[in-house]
Amino acid sequence: MTASVDASDAPAGPDNMWEDNLREWILDEGAVVSAKSLSRTLKVHANVAKEMLFKFADENADKEDLEVVYLVANGRRGVRLVRRDDVAKAETDLGSVSSKHVFAVGRKSALKNGLALCWRQMDAVTEAPNASNLSAVQNKRAVPNRASEAVTR
């Protein structure tokens, strides 16, 4: 499992402004917010962004049109991106789970296919390509694949 990080490490502001931002981006604007895009937008560590998304998803679980996508991983059997309702099945299929966290949150209509997640991840990297200090991956040889920039929308 990933290390626990307290969302209270998030940027402080009047009434946790980051929560207001998430509400506006996801519920009002219909955006898909991934942990990576949130980390880079708010300039917080990736693990803090994951906790922020988890807290937001938990507090808004009653919203029928909210979709939460989890990353569930087992080092030997791979990585899966699954909807909240499918997490238990993914855990069973993978056997032991080495990592599980909220990967992205958005409206169901925005996440009806996986492309929205792909575009959001690519946007996050191209909007802030030098934000590696916010990443949980600290290998200097780990760089974004520039071939992805050739993809057109």
**What's the pLDDT tens digit per position in 78-121?**
888 888 999 999 999 998 899 999 999 998 887 776 656 665 55
pLDDT of residue 141: 60
- For helices 115-127 and 35-42, the axis angle rounded to 10 degrees is 30
CB 71: neighbour CB atoms within 10 A? 19
CA dihedral 36, 33, 16, 126 (to 10 degrees): 50
Q: What's this model's pTM, rounded to 2 decimal places?
A: 0.69
Q: How many CB atoms lie within 10 A of CB 132?
A: 14
Q: What is the mean pLDDT of the chain?
A: 76
Q: What is the pLDDT of residue 51?
A: 95
| 71's tokens | 């990353």
For residue 82, which phi and psi values (nearest 5 degrees)? -135, 150
Q: Tell me how long the chain is.
A: 153
Domains of the chain: 16-127 (3.90.1030.20)
Letter for the amino acid at 137?
V
Look at residues 128, 140, 146, 139 and name the one whose alpha carbon lies nearest to residue 40.
128
User: DSSP letter at 3?
Assistant: P
Q: Which residue has the higher pLDDT, 136 or 46?
A: 46
Of 56 and 113, which is predicted with more confidence?
56
- Give the pair of three-digit tokens for residue 124: 């996050």
